[in-house]
C-alpha cells in the first residue's frame, strides 16, 4: 500500500513538473511580422517537450488559428488551446495563421531539433543530418542538451558539428574559438561559408578567433580541392568509358578496312534511339517492369546499329575501298541521311530517356564528391564490353581472321581468309559496339538527332593515339583523353581544353605516328 502511494506521489510530482507553454509566446506565433514569428518559434523550441512539438507541427500543417486573441489548434471539428492542450469550444470565425516560405523553413529546422530527443536512433540520426546545413545560434542550448544525452557515436559527431555552428555567434570569444577549432576538421562548402565572415576583422575583433578561422578556411579549401580533383578524375573516367565504347568499334573498322567512317557517331545515335524505343514499349505494355527496359535495350541497340552498319558497308563503302577521300565524303553524306531520318521518325527535339530506379542516386564520398550510380554502372558496362571484345578478338576464329586482315590483308586472302565477308562482319561488329555506346550515352546525356556528332572527332583521336587496331591502346587513349579533358575544363574552360588537347595530340603524333601501341606485321613494316 505504501509503495503504491509513493508511485502515485511521484507521478503527480512529474506531472506538476511538466509546465505548459507560455501563452504569450504561443500567441506570438500568430502575429503578422515574420521576424516576430521566427523569434517565437526559436523560443518555443527550447522547451524540447511534446507540447512544443504539438504546437509547431500544427503550425506547419496549417492547423494553427487565432480566435478571441488566443492561439488554437483546430483539426476537423475539434479545437484545443495551443498553449495548454485543453479542449475548447469551436470559435465562430477563427483566423488562420499565415505561414510563408521563411516560416516554413524555420519550422522544419525546429521540428528536426525536437526530434533529437526521440527514442528511435534512426529518427535522431535523420534529425541531426538535417541540421547540418542550417542551424541558428538560438539552437545552441537545445543542441547542448541533446549532445549531453546522446550516446550514439555517429549522432554525437553530427551534433558536435551542429553545436559548433550554432556557437559561432556566441559572445564569449573562448566559445567561438572552440567552435572554429571543431569546424576546422570539416570538409563542407557550407561550413566554409559560415567561417568566411570570421576571417574579417570587421566581423571578428578577437585575433585568436580570426586567425583560427583563417586557418580553418584554408584547411577546408585544401580538402575541397582534393574532392574536386577526384570528381574531375571520376568524370573523366566516365567520359573515357563512353569514348572507349565509341572507339572500340571504330578501331575495328578503321583497322581492318582503313575506312574513315564519318557516320560512326550516328551509330551511337541509333543505339540511343533503340534504347528510347525499348523504354516506350515497356511504358506502354510492361509498366510494372519499366526498370528493366535498359537490359532489354542492350541487344536491341547492338543489332539495330549492326544492321545499319551492314547496310552501309554493302551498299556504299564496299565500292570505295582504297579511295579515302571518296569514302570520307560518302560516309559524311550517310551521317546526314541518318540524322535527317531520326528527325523524321522522332522529331527534331531531344527525347527523354530516364534512368531506371536502380541507377538513381550515388555514393557520397565527400560533401563535394558524389559518384552517381549511372556513371559507375556505365564504367562497369564499358569494361564488360571491352572484355567481350578482347575474348572475341583473341579467342575466336572470327577474331583471328580480323587480326589477320588487319595485319596483312593480301596474305590473309592468299591463305583462304574470306576478306570481303570479314569486312562485312567487322563493320557490323564495330557498328554494334557503337550502338552499345549509344545505350550508355542515353543514360547521361540528351538523346537527339545530333548527339553523335560531338563524339566522332574524339573517337578518331582515341584510335589514332592508341594505335590502329590496338584494344589496349584504345583503352589508355580513351581514359587519358577523358581525364585530361575534364581536368583541363575545370581549370581553363571547355574551349581552351579542346584546343590544348588537340595541340598535345598533334605533337604526340609527330613524335610517335604509330600511336601508343604500334601495329605488328610484315605488311605494316
Domain spans of the chain?
23-187, 230-511
Residue 469: the pLDDT is 60
Distance in angstroms (rounded) separating the CA atoms of residues 437 and 90: 66
Note whether 270 and 438 are within 8 A (CB): yes
- Strands 70-75 and 78-81, by their bridges, are antiparallel
Residue 522: the pLDDT is 43
Helix (H, G, I), strand (E, B) or coil at 74: strand
Residue 267: the pLDDT is 93
Note whether 305 and 271 are within 8 A (CB): yes
Q: Which CATH code of 1.10.3470, 2.40.50, 1.20.1260, 1.10.10 fits the domain covering 230-511?
A: 1.10.3470
Residue 342: how many CB atoms within 10 A of its CB?
23
Residue 304: the pLDDT is 96
Q: Using alpha carbons only, what angle is made at residue 380 by residues 379 and 386, rounded to the nearest 5 degrees? A: 90
Helix (H, G, I), strand (E, B) or coil at 87: strand
Report pTM.
0.73
The secondary structure of residue 51, as a DSSP letter, is: H
Per-residue pLDDT of the chain (525 residues; tens, 9 = 90+): 444 333 333 333 333 344 468 888 888 888 888 888 888 888 888 877 778 888 888 999 888 998 888 888 888 888 888 888 888 888 888 888 888 888 888 888 888 888 888 888 998 888 888 887 678 787 888 888 888 888 888 899 889 998 898 899 889 999 999 999 999 988 888 888 889 999 998 889 999 999 999 999 999 999 888 888 888 899 889 888 988 888 888 888 776 777 788 898 999 999 999 999 999 999 999 999 999 999 999 999 999 999 999 999 999 988 887 787 888 899 999 999 999 999 999 998 999 898 999 998 899 887 778 899 999 999 999 999 999 988 998 889 988 888 888 777 888 888 888 888 888 898 899 899 999 999 999 998 889 999 988 888 888 888 888 876 667 778 888 888 888 888 888 777 777 877 888 888 888 878 887 777 665 544 444
State the residue for C-alpha cell 561559408.
193
Note whether 305 and 267 are within 8 A (CB): yes
Helix (H, G, I), strand (E, B) or coil at 370: strand
Residue 13: the pLDDT is 36
Note whether 51 and 80 are within 8 A (CB): no
CA proximity to 291, closest of 383, 349, 373: 373
Residue 149: the pLDDT is 87
Three-state secondary structure of 103-129: HHHHHHHHHHHHHHHCCCHHHHHHHHH
Note whether 93 and 67 are within 8 A (CB): yes
Residue 155: how many CB atoms within 10 A of its CB?
21
Distance in angstroms (rounded) separating the CA atoms of residues 400 and 416: 13
Distance in angstroms (rounded) separating the CA atoms of residues 445 and 271: 13
Residue 283 C-alpha cell reads as 511504358
Helix (H, G, I), strand (E, B) or coil at 302: helix
Residue 66: the pLDDT is 86
Distance in angstroms (rounded) separating the CA atoms of residues 361 and 370: 9
Residue 520: the pLDDT is 55
Dihedral sign for Cα 484, 486, 489, 494, please.
Answer: positive
Amino acid at each position: 500500500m505504501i509503495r503504491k502511494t509513493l508511485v502515485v506521489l511521484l507521478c503527480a510530482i512529474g506531472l506538476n513538473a511538466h509546465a505548459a507553454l507560455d501563452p504569450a509566446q504561443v500567441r506570438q506565433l500568430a502575429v503578422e511580422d515574420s521576424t516576430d514569428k521566427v523569434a517565437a518559434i526559436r523560443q518555443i523550441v527550447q522547451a524540447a517537450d511534446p507540447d512544443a512539438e504539438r504546437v509547431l507541427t500544427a503550425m506547419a500543417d496549417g492547423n494553427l488559428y487565432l480566435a478571441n486573441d488566443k492561439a488554437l489548434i483546430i483539426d476537423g471539428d475539434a479545437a484545443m488551446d495551443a498553449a495548454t492542450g485543453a479542449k475548447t469550444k469551436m470559435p465562430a470565425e477563427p483566423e488562420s495563421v499565415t505561414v510563408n516560405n521563411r516560416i516554413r523553413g524555420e519550422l522544419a529546422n525546429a521540428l528536426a531539433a525536437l526530434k533529437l530527443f526521440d527514442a528511435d536512433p534512426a529518427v535522431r540520426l535523420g534529425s541531426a543530418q538535417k541540421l547540418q546545413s542550417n542551424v541558428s545560434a538560438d539552437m545552441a542550448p537545445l543542441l547542448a542538451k541533446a549532445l549531453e544525452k546522446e550516446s550514439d557515436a555517429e549522432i554525437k559527431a553530427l551534433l558536435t558539428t551542429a553545436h559548433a555552428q550554432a556557437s559561432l555567434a556566441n559572445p564569449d570569444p573562448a566559445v567561438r574559438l572552440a567552435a572554429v577549432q571543431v569546424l576546422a576538421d570539416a570538409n563542407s562548402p557550407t561550413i566554409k561559408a559560415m567561417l568566411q565572415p570570421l576571417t574579417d576583422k570587421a566581423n571578428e575583433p578577437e585575433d585568436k578567433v580570426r586567425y583560427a578561422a583563417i586557418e580553418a578556411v584554408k584547411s577546408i579549401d585544401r580538402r575541397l580541392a582534393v574532392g574536386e580533383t577526384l570528381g574531375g578524375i571520376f568524370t573523366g573516367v566516365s567520359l573515357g568509358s563512353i569514348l572507349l565504347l565509341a572507339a572500340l568499334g571504330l578501331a575495328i573498322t578503321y583497322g581492318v578496312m582503313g575506312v574513315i567512317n564519318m557516320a560512326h557517331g550516328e551509330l551511337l545515335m541509333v543505339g540511343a534511339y533503340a534504347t528510347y524505343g525499348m523504354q516506350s514499349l515497356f511504358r506502354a505494355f510492361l509498366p510494372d517492369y519499366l526498370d528493366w527496359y535498359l537490359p532489354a535495350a542492350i541487344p536491341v541497340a547492338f543489332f539495330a546499329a549492326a544492321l545499319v552498319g551492314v547496310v552501309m558497308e554493302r551498299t556504299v563503302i564496299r565500292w570505295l575501298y582504297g579511295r579515302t577521300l571518296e569514302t570520307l565524303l560518302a560516309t559524311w553524306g550517310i551521317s546526314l541521311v541518318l540524322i535527317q531520318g531520326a528527325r523524321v521518325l522522332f522529331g527534331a527535339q531531344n527525347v527523354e530517356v530516364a534512368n531506371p530506379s536502380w541507377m538513381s542516386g550515388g555514393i557520397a564520398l565527400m560533401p563535394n564528391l558524389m559518384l552517381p550510380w549511372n556513371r559507375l554502372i556505365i564504367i562497369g558496362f564499358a569494361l564488360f564490353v571491352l572484355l567481350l571484345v578482347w575474348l572475341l578478338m583473341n579467342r575466336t576464329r572470327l577474331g583471328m581472321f580480323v587480326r589477320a586482315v588487319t595485319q596483312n590483308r593480301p596474305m590473309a586472302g592468299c591463305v583462304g581468309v574470306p576478306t570481303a565477308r570479314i569486312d562485312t562482319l567487322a563493320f557490323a561488329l564495330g557498328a554494334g559496339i557503337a550502338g552499345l555506346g549509344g545505350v550508355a550515352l542515353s543514360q547521361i546525356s540528351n538523346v537527339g538527332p545530333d548527339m553523335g556528332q560531338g563524339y566522332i572527332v574524339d573517337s578518331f583521336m582515341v584510335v589514332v593515339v592508341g594505335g590502329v587496331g590496338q584494344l589496349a591502346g584504345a583503352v589508355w587513349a580513351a581514359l587519358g583523353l577523358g581525364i585530361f579533358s575534364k581536368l583541363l575544363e575545370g581549370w581553363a574552360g571547355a574551349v581552351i581544353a579542346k584546343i590544348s588537347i588537340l595541340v598535345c595530340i598533334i605533337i604526340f603524333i609527330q613524335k610517335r605516328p604509330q600511336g601508343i601501341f604500334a601495329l605488328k606485321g610484315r605488311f605494316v613494316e
